[in-house]
Chains A and B, each alone.
Chain A
């Protein structure tokens, strides 16, 4: 995928404006998963801002984030780094293949034990 297109896509999906970041590092200071990460929350923000997205998509850091939202809560500039992490995860999943799920598949999957939220979220993730 074209680099700037990917960047635009990430920003649209996450609703994050990485230009608001002042690189204070408070998100990384607060992150409980810091030591497990190769790229830390503040780096996520600056790398997305610089369009340096490929390394993020390949990094294990993506799956170390606990989505605890501590960084979102503490960021003085309302940047919301966790939402960017989630957007990059989505981008990875979407690139793994074309549409794996269509709206038509849903009725067959409906049963009492499956929470509907799960289907909605699966549909979001597995559909381009």
Chain B
């Protein structure tokens, strides 16, 4: 028989205002196993905890029930208290009489009655509790960062600077992400390349960092501290360690008409290419869909001009196996497709472009060498119309865009408008907006400068349609403040397209068993208090894969993710959660029901030898739970038709005892 102590907390007036705490303590005294019951103003305070410890010793308690706030709040606190008093921490149960009782009821008699019932259930459970000890597993002291944009770069640098080895897997031939494509950056207008490329070089030269570019993660197994990852390195047909990045091949390649993805298809590149001058790693890559040699064996020019002998037309995809203790997702974002927005004539006219294309058009390393020229005829545009919120803030029924605000477009549009007026004072620049959203340090000031100093015409209203006519774009829009419909003959229209997570994020999330929201952004373990951790232990989030962000926010989050990883890798061993599932092999019939429902892939099957009642042996397939992977969600215990699965700390028997106590 247990010797149980009950401690009823007032939580100031939070609980005591609606629950008669003394009556609860009194009523629970009569429950089986209870040898001591009391109440106190703040159980979680030092004095409250001391009282618990004192009572454990004085009354030789073997179990404790705390009637207080939600276990999410203070279960850990009271488990520590119990441990300090020499009790197994899993002999503590919390009856939530705050969130689920005093806060939702208004009348004292009802609140009190419910609190007593909840207390009785907890007592019934503690009577069946057994001491539990968490298992331990070792930690592989190496981190994997998936995605090499500014988020991945910063996270990798911070982890590596703390002394732990890091691998970056980047699917493109170079790291850098979207920031490498930007021209100048708000709010200070420093050039993106000037602040990004030194960091890229730091990554390349860091002795603790390895870069797997042109690579993807193809399989993830294991669990926190012990991930087994397979990385697929795509054949680039150039030996990375031999290529010097001289570019002789790029110059000589005769297949010069491949749309250049780095400039968003606004100019062409050869079949063998280096995405941009500061690429890291700076090695050439052959595009197998364009190269004549790879397609039909004719050409081979690049191999002849390459003095280093780096070209290898026979190169194969390579698979690399590595172990990691932690994984950081930094897969970033992309602007959405404009295909569903016919009204803006994006697919009809070359002079309707997205904001990211505008960045390339104004970038010194871009297709026009930084001169703002119309893509259609190379002429200088005089009237430029920017449209904000294209595909952002849409109703889900509209099925065209995204419901969220993309957060960065108000600011980059102000930047584009301001820079255009600064460099080309002969232009008229219009910005159509629904609201201008500029919270952030020095952000609103920046937008006001665009209006006040640079005379950008900000117009509240949306553009309804854009019609190409001759060499003009007829823009029809509303000006809500002066209650007019406007007709503008524009030379260039720039669409602030909504951003969305990279399309590869969803399959990656499945591989990692990390959860996502309906927009495919990765979800945090807690939206406020654990913003850089995924709910899956050992998986961390960095940058825009978690939600729209600008560079300052991305970099802070990247650093935060790194510090969480460092905290994990600094440990030699990890304590697990002992409340995990286990199957009773005698009862398990190997039906696979549990394996199918387990969201973490913790269940496998083993063929085991059993002695049968007739003294023969039989081989039977039975479920086995990996306690380090199991998160204790309990899905399998419900799915198991034979009642073989049970959850330690939440055994079926304990749950039934609670239900009985409630229904008594």
| Chain A residues within CB distance 8 Å of chain B | 20, 22-31, 34-35, 40, 42, 70, 74-79
Q: B106 to chain A: closest CB distance in Å?
A: 30
Chain A residues whose C-beta falls within 8 Å of the C-beta of B460 in the assembled complex: 25
B459 vs chain A, min Cβ distance (A): 10
Among A23, A29, A70, A74, which residue has the most Cβ atoms of chain B within 10 A? A29
Contact B485 A24 (CB under 8 A): no
Interface CB pairs A-B, < 8 A, 13: A24-B434, A24-B462, A26-B478, A28-B461, A28-B464, A29-B464, A30-B464, A34-B485, A40-B478, A76-B398, A77-B395, A77-B398, A78-B397
- B461 to chain A: which residues have CB within 8 Å? 24-25, 28-29
Indicate whether A74 sits within 8 Å of B343 (C-beta atoms), given known contacts A25-B460, A29-B465, A34-B485. yes
Nearest-CB distance from B401 to chain A (Å)?
Answer: 6
- Answer whether residue B497 sits at the interface, using C-beta atoms and an 8 A cutoff: no
Interface membership of B258, Cβ < 8 A: no
Report B248 CB to chain A, min CB distance, Å: 51
Given contacts A28-B480, A77-B395, 4 further A-B contacts (CB under 8 A): A25-B460, A31-B464, A76-B398, A76-B400
Contacts of A42 in B (CB 8 A): 478, 480
List the 9 closest A-B pairs by CB distance, nearest first.
A29-B464, A30-B464, A26-B462, A25-B478, A29-B478, A25-B461, A78-B397, A77-B395, A78-B395
Which one of A20, A25, A70, A74 lies within 8 Å of B480 (CB-CB)? A25
- A37–chain B nearest beta-carbon distance, Å: 10
Whether B434 lies near A31 (C-beta < 8 A) is no
User: What residues on A are CB-neighbors of B465 within 8 Å?
Assistant: 29-30, 74
Q: Complex: how many Å from CA A78 to CA B393?
A: 11
Tell me, rounded to whole Å, the shortest Cβ–Cβ distance linking B107 to chain A.
35
Is the Cβ of B462 less than 8 Å from the Cβ of A29? yes
**Closest CB-CB distance, B75 to chain A, in whole Å?**
41
Most chain B beta-carbon neighbours within 10 Å: one of A26, A40, A75, A79: A26
| Residue contact A29 to B477, C-beta cutoff 8 Å | yes
**Chain A residues positioned under 8 Å from B400 (CB to CB):** 76
Residues of A within 8 A of B480 (CB): 23, 25, 28, 42
Bitwise interface map of B from 389 to 411 toward A, beta carbon under 8 Å scored 1, else 0:
10001110110110000000000
Please indicate the chain A residues that have their CB under 8 angstroms from the CB of B476 in the complex. 29-30
**Cα–Cα, bound, A77→B460 (Å):** 17
CB of B395 within 8 A of CB of A20, answer yes
Chain B residue contacts of A20, Cβ below 8 A: 395
Interface-central residue, B393, B395, B464, by most chain A CB under 10 Å: B464
Do the beta carbons of B395 and A76 come within 8 Å of each other?
yes
Judged by a CB distance under 8 angstroms, whether B483 is at the interface is yes
Residue B485 contacts which of A22, A23, A29, A70 (CB distance < 8 angstroms)?
A29
Q: Closest CB of chain A to B361's CB: distance in Å? A: 26
CB atoms of B478 and A28 under 8 A apart: yes
Give Cα A75–Cα B462 distance, bound, in whole angstroms.
10
A76 partner, pick from B394, B478, B483, beta carbons under 8 A:
B394
Give the distance to chain B from A62, nearest Cβ to Cβ, in Å.
18
* Closest chain A CB from B394 CB (angstroms): 4
User: From B343, which residue of chain A is reached at the shortest CB distance?
Assistant: A74
Contact flags B585-613 to A (C-beta < 8 A → 1, else 0)? 00000000000000000000000000000
A51 to B434 CA separation, bound complex (whole angstroms): 24
| Chain A proximity of B283: nearest CB distance (Å) | 44
Which residues on the A side are within 8 Å of B463 (C-beta)?
Answer: 26, 29
**B329-362 with Cβ < 8 A to chain A:** 343
Q: Pick the contact of A35 from B343, B395, B401, B485 — CB < 8 Å?
A: B485
Q: Are B434 and A22 in contact (CB under 8 A)?
A: yes
Partner of A22, one of B393, B397, B478, B483: B393
Chain B residue at minimum C-beta to C-beta distance from A39? B483
Please name all residues of chain B whose beta carbon is closer than 8 Å to the beta carbon of A22 when the two chains form the complex.
393, 434
* Chain A residues in 8 Å Cβ range of B485: 28-29, 31, 34-35, 40
A126 to chain B, nearest CB (A): 32
Identify which of A25, A27, A28 gathers the most chain B CB atoms within 10 Å of its CB: A25
- Indicate whether A26 sits within 8 Å of B394 (C-beta atoms), given known contacts A34-B485, A42-B480, A76-B400: no
In the complex, what distance in Å separates the CA atom of A26 from the CA atom of B398? 14
Select from chain B the residue with minimum beta-carbon distance to A75: B398
Q: Which residue of B lies closest to A21 (CB)?
A: B395
Q: Tell me how far the C-beta of A12 lies from the nearest C-beta in chain B, rounded to whole angstroms.
A: 18
Write the nearest CB–CB distance from B420 to chain A, whole angstroms. 23
- Bound together, the chains give a CA A27 to CA B398 distance in angstroms of 14
Distance to closest chain B CB from A59 (angstroms): 14
Contacts of B483 on A, CB cut-off 8 Å? 40
From the candidates B393, B397, B401, B462, name the one contacting A25 in the complex (CB within 8 A): B462
**What is the CA–CA distance of A75 and B397 in the complex, to the nearest angstrom?**
11
Q: How far is the CA of A70 from the CA of B477 in the complex (A)?
A: 13
Contact mask for chain B residues 461-498; partner A; CB cutoff 8 A; 1 contact, 0 none? 11111000000000011101001010000000000000
Residue from A22, A27, A28 with most neighbouring chain B CB atoms (10 Å): A28
Bound-state CA distance A26–B343 (Å) is 11
Q: How far is the CA of A29 from the CA of B467 in the complex (A)?
A: 13
Residues of A near B397 (CB, < 8 A) are 78
A67 to chain B, nearest CB (A): 17
Within 8 Å CB of A25, what residues of B?
434, 460-462, 478, 480
Q: How far is the CB of B306 from chain A (nearest CB, A)?
A: 52
Q: Which residue of A lies closest to B463 (CB)?
A: A29
* Docked complex Cα distance between A74 and B463 (Å): 10
Closest B residue to A43 using CB positions: B483
In the assembled complex, the Cα of A2 lies from the Cα of B478 at a distance in Å of: 33
CB-defined contacts of B389 to chain A, threshold 8 Å: 24, 76
Minimum C-beta distance from B254 to chain A (A): 47
Residues of B within 8 Å of A79, CB to CB, are 395
Which residues from A are CB-within-8-Å of B434? 22-25
Chain A residue nearest to B398 (CB atoms) is A78
Contacts of B393 in A (CB 8 A): 22, 76-77
Give the docked Cα–Cα distance between A78 and B434 (Å): 16
Q: Which residues on the A side are within 8 Å of B462 (C-beta)? A: 24-26, 29
Nearest residue (CB) in B for A71 is B464
The CA-CA distance from A24 to B393 in the complex, in Å, is 10
Alpha-carbon distance A29/B397, docked complex (angstroms): 21
What separation, in Å, do the CA atoms of A28 and B477 have in the docked complex?
A: 8
B395 neighbours in A (Cβ, 8 Å): 20, 76-79
Q: Please, how many angstroms separate the alpha-carbon atoms of A30 and B463 in the complex?
A: 8
Whole-angstrom CA separation of A110 from B328 in the bound complex = 73
Find the B residue at minimum CB distance from A37: B485
CB distance from B516 to the nearest CB of A (A): 24
B413 to chain A, nearest CB (A): 15
Closest B residue, CB atoms, query A20: B395
User: In whole angstroms, how far apart are the Cα atoms of A78 and B477 in the complex?
Assistant: 19
In the bound assembly, the distance between CA atoms of A23 and B433 in angstroms comes to 11
> Distance in Å from the Cβ of A26 to the closest Cβ of chain B?
4
Q: A24-B389, A29-B476, A42-B478 are in contact. Are A74 and B464 (CB under 8 A)?
A: yes
Could you tell me the distance between the alpha carbons of A23 and B465 in the complex, rounded to whole angstroms?
17
Across-interface contacts of A24 in B (CB, < 8 A): 389, 434, 461-462
**Docked complex Cα distance between A7 and B398 (Å):** 24
Specify which chain B residues have a CB less than 8 angstroms from the CB of A70 in the assembled complex: 464
User: From B461, which residue of chain A is reached at the shortest CB distance?
Assistant: A25
Give the complex CA separation of A52 and B534 in angstroms.
Answer: 49
